[in-house]
Amino acid sequence: MNNNSTPLPLEAYQTGQVLLIDKPLHWTSFQVVNKIRRLLKKQYKIKKIKVGHAGTLDPLATGLLILCTGKFTKKIEHYQAQEKEYTGIITLGATTLSYDLETEINQTFDTSQLTEKQIVETAQKFIGKIQQQPPVFSALKKDGKRLYEFARAGETVEIPTRTVTIKEFEITKIEMPHITFRVVCSKGTYIRSLAHDFGKALQNGAHLSALRRTKIGDFTVKNAQSITHFEKLFTFDM
């Protein structure tokens, strides 16, 4: 793993490195991969090098993104399968089609009757193995198309549920209508769907308004570097 203050020799990146990047807001995971790949190609004057990420983060999410270079790209599935931790904010009283802030609010609800006790107890009901339906605004494929392509075209598509595991779902602060939380979960869990389902379980509505991935397995965002920091390792003029 390279979080040093100087770049490694080219051979090290080709043999394989794990890079921990703190993904900034509004960047796609693919844009991060593309940026790192371009930096490596320019630094070492090479035409190609393998770079991949181990688990997509939505553009509206920040936090830990594991990148693998060279032969370590074969380890991506191993890292993707590991347990993940997130922190974020669920906003009660309103839903969106994307289950987050990518799309506009489409329905509102009265939250005045919700109590802190009810909110905390409802979160506990999600712990364990649950059935979850991925958001229609997601990169999952059906019939060769991304789900978000159907959604943006206004087409209805049937999305099967999947079994995921919520190990921890902790409510850390309540400032109505905003609920700050921490979740530890299995591979394949959509926190946007969890937020949406949480609202339904409260007989209300909810959407995800902030998300940060803080851990993947033993890797933590505290040890990650920004794209800007990684860029500054290199000697060329950008």
Q: How far is Cα 109 from Cα 125, in angstroms, rounded to an integer?
A: 22
- The answer to whether 29 and 56 are in contact (CB under 8 A) is yes
- The verdict on 166 and 206 lying in the same domain is yes
How does pLDDT run across 173-232, given as a tens digit for each residue? Answer: 999 999 999 999 999 999 999 999 999 999 999 999 999 999 999 999 999 999 999 998
- The answer to whether 83 and 29 are in contact (CB under 8 A) is no
- The verdict on 37 and 100 lying in the same domain is no
In the 8-state DSSP scheme, what is residue 143? T
Q: pTM for the whole thing? A: 0.91
**Left (φ > 0), alpha (ψ -120 to 50) or beta: where does 128 sit?**
left
How does pLDDT run across 34-48, given as a tens digit for each residue? Answer: 999 999 999 999 999
**How many domains is the chain partitioned into structurally?**
2
47 contacts: CB under 8 Å, gap ≥ 6: 41
How does pLDDT run across 79-118, given as a tens digit for each residue? Answer: 999 999 999 999 999 999 899 999 999 999 999 999 999 9
- The answer to whether 86 and 214 are in contact (CB under 8 A) is yes
169 contacts: CB under 8 Å, gap ≥ 6: 123, 124, 126, 127, 181, 182, 183, 194
- The verdict on 45 and 111 lying in the same domain is no
- The verdict on 93 and 208 lying in the same domain is yes
Q: Which residues pair with 206 in a beta bridge?
A: 92
Decide if 3 is inside a domain: no
- The verdict on 45 and 94 lying in the same domain is no
- In one-letter notation, the amino acid at residue 94 is A
- The answer to whether 102 and 96 are in contact (CB under 8 A) is yes
Active-site position among 22, 58, 100, 197: 58
Which H or E run includes 66?
Answer: strand 61-69
Residue of 26, 20, 70, 30 lying closest to 210 (CA atoms):
26
Residue of 98, 35, 9 lying closest to 238 (CA atoms):
35
- The verdict on 15 and 29 lying in the same domain is yes
- Confidence class for position 7, pLDDT limits 50, 70, 90: confident
Decide if 4 is inside a domain: no
- The verdict on 20 and 91 lying in the same domain is no
- The verdict on 102 and 63 lying in the same domain is no
Q: Which residues pair with 21 in a beta bridge?
A: 65, 225
Please report the pLDDT score of residue 8 as a whole number: 87
Establish whether 197 is a catalytic residue.
Answer: no
Domain, as residue range, for 64:
10-81+219-232
Task: Give the residue ranges of DSSP H helices in 16-115.
Answer: 29-44, 76-80
Q: How far is Cα 50 from Cα 225, in angstroms, rounded to an integer?
A: 20
- The verdict on 18 and 31 lying in the same domain is yes
Q: How far is Cα 177 from Cα 105, in angstroms, rounded to an integer?
A: 14
- The answer to whether 69 and 19 are in contact (CB under 8 A) is yes
* CATH number, domain containing residue 135: 3.30.2350.10
